[in-house]
Amino acid sequence: MLSRVANNLIWLERYMERGNGILSLLKVNYSANQDAPKLFSWSPIIENYAGGINFLTEDPIECIDFMVFKTENPNSIINIVKKARENARSVQEHISRELWLCINNYYHFVTNPNLPNKLKEEDPIIFLDNLQAFHLMFYGCMDVTQERGTSYYFMNVGKYLERVIQISDFTALKLIEIAKTSDSLERSVFWKNLLLSIGGYQLYLKKHKSAFEEKHIITMVFQDKLFPRSLYYSINKLNRHINMLIDANELKKNNIDFLLGKLESTIKYTTIESINEQGLNNFIEEIKEDIRNISFSINTVYFSHSN
Amino acid sequence: MVNNNLFSSYNQLPNTWDEMYNHKEIVRQPYEKITNFLKNTSSDNLFKKEELAKQLFMSQGVTFTVYNDNEGIEKIFPFDIIPRIITASEWSKIERGIKQRITALNLFIKDIYHDQFIIKDGIIPANLVYSCPNFLREMKNVEVPYDIYTHISGVDLIRNNDGEFYVLEDNLRTPSGVSYMLENREISKRIYPGILPQNQIRSVSNYPNILYKKLKELSDQANPNVVLLTPGIYNSAYYEHTTLARLMGIELVEGNDLVVNDHFVYMKTTNGLKRVDVIYRRIDDDFLDPLEFNASSVLGVAGIMAAYRKGNVNIVNAPGTGIADDKAIYIYVPDMIKYYLNEEPILNNIKTYQLKNPDELEYVEKNITNLVIKKTDGSGGYGMLMGHEASEKEIEDYLKTVKKNPSNFIAQPILRLSTAPCCINGILAPRCIDLRPFAISGRDGIEITPGGLTRVALKEGSLVVNSSQGGGSKDTWVIQ
């Protein structure tokens, strides 16, 4: 496969995964903000995704509008979808036709000049759900129509790379809030909010009932083997697809398999006690650093062929 | 319910061949089935069909991006839903005519870059060839595989008021539009369910298969690596490049994906360099190789021409074919056909005046309101002067430019392009059309997909069919 194509496939998935995550975050924050506007303000989200841009309002609709439509926000949904489509457009012969049509239709949906009015007229949750439906269709399309092989592996590398970064970011974001309060009720509300944002709330209830204990939440978000949005699960999948590529001679080892194996073990075998000892924040920072190195190593492989 | 309104204001242009009506305003036989269908379709329904066509183009990504203030806007190439129909006997003549023409043009290109018999025999003046900007000295004495230069050609034809087809220009460099030929047919199938089989229309869908077969046969490798080289996503024909690559199952590459090593061309893949054998390039000669042509080109590949001359890679179309579709050379195509093939031309040329000849220039000056002046190396409908609609000032300015270098210009009578019915605001109106069939030359001869791209000047009274200037397209039906 062309190195440029591999690169575009990775970024196509990274953008789609990021868009899906941001939409979940917006939805959850909108609900929580209706309950407790002080606890769930919009500024941390905007700061994280559009850092450096002065945007001072706590009006929920304006904030969602900024996060979805504003082109000056590099991570607005409209920008993310444009970039995903641009990547998809240049690799059309490598992705299934259905997948391309799905992204192209999403692009036309989100760039329709009448859409911003809908946000002002409709229930914002329905509005965000309508956008997120394209992501769900995209996941389904990819699963059903994309043949397993190099393209699929590279796309999954992008998907799980972005997911690991996103889970780390979401958690770090909440930790800042949690650190501000000593009220245990408020803390548990924040933890619950984290679970909702990454989509693990239902599973948590099934496992631990409605009792929000930090150690259970951390174990689930970081170490659960069956929860598709846990760090362990995502890194495990990343590792699997990287190894498929290495086996197929599509990726030079370049230490990537070692770095990934090490990260996987770290997450798997670190006890909650030792996480607490070093501080959750430091633990997350270490994971993010490892992921950066892995991402950099993958880049080196395909950039080494470019000029 | 009969839609009487639909045909009510179809005002044929004077002295113009209409594809649907004969001069007595009776529907020509091949158009009977479709006009009967349309008569029973309400205007509302036609609007719906137009809307469906637009939606299909958009959702399939059959679009090009127009950049304005850093904002990209997706546009579709306007599509008129009423098909243009060509009969089997008309097509048979067009097909024979184009094959004859392409055969002669290909022999001409070979001759020009080798022995130049046609110059030595006094058929074509040497200075005309050497002063042509598209003549590539770099191609002199280069051995080209199977002596094929113009693998893919898109000859533009028009039908004059005598009902005959004339050749407007031979596009022998990187003609585009074939993806619209394919896509327009797909759209017709959707908006006219059941109508196509009734009319027994020849299929166009195997164009990519024929193209791939012919490209593959150019290589002596058993399983050659054929790629399509695109200038990239900002090119207005990028949709066409992705479509052809996808339908042929070949890799779409950009200049940066390729590298030349030891006179072989490779593509940079995730498991190392992979040799490339045949390149269907959609970038112009000038940008092909910064070492030999435009040094600032980032679209091409450094060293590719040297690899080509060594026979290590095949470039399609061959560099330098522009010498044969130059507007000043065009005048000599009938002579070429006689010279190389000893045949009479099957398709006519349009009477063309060379402004470098003082008496022809004088004639053109006197009759300018009936003429169009074109630059010999121009394309896309740019840089021409339409005498009947230009102001005196425009004519004066243009003639000044002409006189600075008259050999860069030619003049032709303003043509009566034939008209075909178009759906304009829910009713039918005649609009001027042309026809671009696509011919593929390979080891075992020339194949032409039945039909081609019909372009239409959607502006009332306009003769310019180019997409950049208000043109659109139609599906083209060749009836068995």
Q: Which pLDDT tens digit goes with each residue over B88-100?
A: 999 999 999 999 9
Residue contact B60–A101, C-beta within 8 A: yes
Interface-testing mutation among B55, B76, B270, B298, with chain A (most A C-beta atoms within 10 A): B270
User: Is the pTM value of this prediction over 0.90?
Assistant: yes
Q: Is the pLDDT of residue A211 over 70?
A: yes
Average pLDDT for A250-268: 88
- In one letter, which amino acid is A250? E
List, in order, residues 6 or more apart from A17 with CB less than 8 Å away: A158, A159, A162, A163, A166
Question: Per the structure block, which two tokens stand in for B183?
Answer: 């896509």
B138 in a structural domain = no
Count of CA atoms in the C-beta half-sphere (13 A) of B381: 13
Residues B311 and B361 in one domain: no
Angle subtended at Cα B328 by Cα B327 and Cα B332, rounded to the nearest 5 degrees = 105
On chain B, the residues whose CB falls within 8 A of the CB of A134 are none
- Provide the pLDDT for residue A301: 65
Q: Determine the Cα–Cα distance for residues A222 and A17; give it in Å rounded to an integer.
A: 19
- Provide the pLDDT for residue B3: 80
Which CATH number covers residue B399?
3.30.1490.270
Alpha-carbon distances of A250 from A241, A300, B268, B269, B470, rounded to whole Å? 11, 13, 12, 8, 47
Residue contact A93–B270, C-beta within 8 A: no
B311 in a structural domain = yes
Q: Which pLDDT tens digit goes with each residue over A4-33?
A: 999 999 999 999 999 999 999 999 999 999
Using the 8-state DSSP alphabet, how is residue A233 labeled? H
- Provide the pLDDT for residue A257: 87
Query: A104 or B468, which is more confident?
Result: A104
Residue contact A4–B256, C-beta within 8 A: yes
List, in order, residues 6 or more apart from B66 with CB less than 8 Å away: B72, B73, B75
Q: Which pLDDT tens digit goes with each residue over B16-46?
A: 999 999 988 899 999 999 999 999 999 899 9
Residue contact B270–A86, C-beta within 8 A: no
Is residue B327 very low, low, confident or very high in pLDDT (cuts 50, 70, 90)?
confident
Measure CB to CB from residue A1 to each of B233, B269, B273 and give the nearest one.
B269
**What is the interface size between A and B, counted as CB pairs within 8 Å?**
71
Residue B42, phi-psi category: left (phi > 0), alpha (psi -120 to 50), beta (remainder):
beta
Interface-testing mutation among B271, B273, B274, B276, with chain A (most A C-beta atoms within 10 A): B271
> CA-CA-CA-CA torsion for B131, B136, B140, B145, nearest 10 degrees?
-140
SS (H, E, C) A156-198: HHHHHHHHHHHHHHHHHHHHHHHHCCCCHHHHHHHHHHHHHHH
Q: Of B396, B413, B430, which closes a domain?
A: B413
Residues B368 and B311 in one domain: no
Residues B356 and B402 in one domain: yes
> Which of B340-354, B422-436, B458-472 shows the lowest mean pLDDT across its residues?
B458-472
- Residue B369's domain spans which residues? 351-413
Residues B369 and B275 in one domain: no
Helix B178-191 and helix B207-216, axial crossing angle in degrees, nearest 10: 150
Q: Determine the Cα–Cα distance for residues A87 and B234; give it in Å rounded to an integer.
A: 13
On chain A, the residues whose CB falls within 8 A of the CB of B242 are 89-90, 92-93
CB atoms within 10 A of CB B337: 24
Reported ipTM: the value is 0.89
Residues B230 and B282 in one domain: yes
Residues B252 and B308 in one domain: yes
Q: Which residue has the tokens 């000599």?
A: B332
- Provide the pLDDT for residue A214: 87
For A177-193, letters b (16+ CB in 10 Å) and e give bbeeeeeeeebbbbbbb
Residue contact A104–B60, C-beta within 8 A: yes
Residues B232 and B294 in one domain: yes
Tell me the average pLDDT of chain B. 93
What percent of chain A has a predicted confidence (pLDDT) above 90? Answer: 74
On chain B, the residues whose CB falls within 8 A of the CB of A71 are 71
Average pLDDT for A115-127: 96
Residue contact A307–B269, C-beta within 8 A: no
Q: Is the pLDDT of residue A307 over 50?
A: no
Which of B279, B264, B350, B346 has its CA nearest to residue B315? B279
CB atoms within 10 A of CB B163: 10
- Provide the pLDDT for residue A265: 92
Residue contact B270–A104, C-beta within 8 A: no
Residue contact A100–B61, C-beta within 8 A: yes
Tell me the average pLDDT of chain A. 92
Residues B300 and B384 in one domain: no
Run of H or E including A86: helix A77-89
In contact, B452 and B434? CB cutoff 8 Å: no
- Provide the pLDDT for residue B37: 92
Angle subtended at Cα B98 by Cα B128 and Cα B160, rounded to the nearest 5 degrees = 85
Q: Which pLDDT tens digit goes with each residue over B200-210?
A: 999 999 999 99
Q: Which pLDDT tens digit goes with each residue over B384-417?
A: 888 888 888 999 999 998 999 888 898 998 888 9
Distance of CA B156 to the CA centre of its chain: 6
B379 in a structural domain = yes
On chain B, the residues whose CB falls within 8 A of the CB of A82 are 72
Which CATH number covers residue B266?
3.40.50.11290
Task: Using DSSP bridges, classify how beta strands B278-281 and B314-316 pair: parallel, antiparallel or unpaired.
Answer: parallel
Average pLDDT for B55-80: 85
Q: How far is B233 from chain A (nearest CA, A)?
A: 7
Residues B216 and B307 in one domain: yes
What percent of chain B has a predicted confidence (pLDDT) above 70? Answer: 99
- In one letter, which amino acid is B386? M
- Residue A113: what are its φ and ψ, rounded to 5°? -60, -15
B142 in a structural domain = no
Question: Per the structure block, which two tokens stand in for B424?
Answer: 């304009």
On chain A, the residues whose CB falls within 8 A of the CB of B233 are 86, 89-90
Q: Is the pLDDT of residue B379 over 80?
A: no
List, in order, residues 6 or more apart from A219 with CB less than 8 Å away: A272
B293 in a structural domain = yes
Average pLDDT for B191-203: 92
- Provide the pLDDT for residue A305: 45
- In one letter, which amino acid is A167? I
- Provide the pLDDT for residue A306: 42
Residue contact A305–B271, C-beta within 8 A: no
Is residue B380 very low, low, confident or very high in pLDDT (cuts 50, 70, 90)?
low
Average pLDDT for B115-134: 95
Q: Determine the Cα–Cα distance for residues B50 and B16; give it in Å rounded to an integer.
A: 27
Average pLDDT for A123-148: 97
- Provide the pLDDT for residue A255: 83
What percent of chain A has a predicted confidence (pLDDT) above 70? Answer: 98
Q: Of B364, B392, B413, which closes a domain?
A: B413
Q: Is the pLDDT of residue A300 over 90?
A: no
- Provide the pLDDT for residue B384: 85
How many structural domains comprise chain B? 2
Residue contact B269–A3, C-beta within 8 A: yes
Q: Which pLDDT tens digit goes with each residue over A156-196?
A: 999 999 999 999 999 998 988 888 888 988 998 999 999 99
List, in order, residues 6 or more apart from A95 with CB less than 8 Å away: A9, A12, A88, A146, A151, A155
Q: Determine the Cα–Cα distance for residues B252 and B241; give it in Å rounded to an integer.
A: 7
B289 in a structural domain = yes
Run of H or E including B252: strand B251-254
Residues B297 and B236 in one domain: yes
Residue B224, phi-psi category: left (phi > 0), alpha (psi -120 to 50), beta (remainder):
beta
> Which of A120-129, A204-213, B251-260, B281-290 shows the lowest mean pLDDT across its residues?
A204-213
On chain B, the residues whose CB falls within 8 A of the CB of A245 are 270
DSSP three-state, residue B414: coil
Give Dmax (Cα) for chain B.
72
Q: Is residue B262 exposed (0-12), middle (13-18) or buried (19+ Cβ within 10 Å)?
A: exposed
List, in order, residues 6 or more apart from B332 with CB less than 8 Å away: B123, B124
Q: Determine the Cα–Cα distance for residues B357 and B369; give it in Å rounded to an integer.
A: 19
Residues B312 and B356 in one domain: no
B385 in a structural domain = yes
Strand ranges of the sheet holding B314-316, from the earlier edge strand across to the other edge: B251-254, B226-230, B278-281, B314-316
Run of H or E including B265: strand B264-269
Query: B472 or B377, which is more confident?
Result: B472
Q: Determine the Cα–Cα distance for residues A169 and A21; give it in Å rounded to an integer.
A: 11
Residues B311 and B363 in one domain: no
- Residue A32: what are its φ and ψ, rounded to 5°? -65, -40
Highest mean pLDDT among B194-198, B300-304, B383-387: B300-304
DSSP three-state, residue B434: coil
Q: Of B316, B343, B360, which closes a domain?
A: B316
Which of A140, A142, A158, A136 has its CA nearest to residue A9? A158
B62 in a structural domain = no
